[in-house]
Amino acid sequence: MEWLIPIQTFQVENAQLGAITHTLKPLLPLSYRDSEQHFPSLSLLLPSLKIKAFDPSTGHFVISLTDSPSTMAKLQGLQDRLISFISLNYPSWFPTANPPKKPSDIRAGFQPLVQGTELHLYCPTQSHIAQTVPFYTNGSWSKNGLQTSLLHVGSKVRIAFRIQGISFHIHPSTGKWSGKFRLQHKLLAILNPL
């Protein structure tokens, strides 16, 4: 069972970064600690929000945050905190990064989840993976998982998603960090109350 943190109770300062793992795609894990509770990853439940765009061929899913300024502020605050952390620590993780990166370079290399008033997520497009994403509509859970045909622009959905951590892009020819990084996330469920 996955424990979800409602965005209303989420506190940015409780997000914790672990030790970086150096593989072909280095990952900096993200967890959450709230009083006595420790969650090994950060799994959030969002309020009902409007779909702004959805491309079923790529899985690019855009959610409008204009109806929930507090959600937008918390997610933006999380991104800002993570970017600051990376600005301070990347020299020890990637000592061969040359020339040293300025804070503006770090921010430019980040692929954000929140851009302006939009949340950018990715749905699985392969049918065998999409079947694993629980989808609630018409008062019940779908037996076939994610129903992309019901994700219409302007309709509202509640999304549960996990942020596993930050993944860093390693340039294939040099083997060095390219300066690009993003939040690694996974959709856990979509609730489409019609």
pLDDT at 128: 76
**What is the spatial distance between Cα 5 and Cα 30, in angstroms, rounded to a whole number?**
14
Extract the residue ranges of the chain whose pLDDT is less than 50: none
- CA torsion 130-131-137-141 (nearest 10°) is -150
pTM score: 0.91
Q: What's the CA dihedral at 111, 113, 114, 119 to 10 degrees?
A: 140
- Of 130, 176, 172, 132, nearest to 149 (Cα)? 130
Instruction: Enter the tokens of residue 64.
Output: 């409008």
Give the per-residue pLDDT at 27: 94
Distance of CA 96 to the CA centre of its chain: 28
For residue 96, the model assigns a pLDDT of 78
Q: Which domain holds residue 170?
A: 5-192
The tally of domains found in the chain comes to: 1
**pLDDT of the residue at 67:** 95
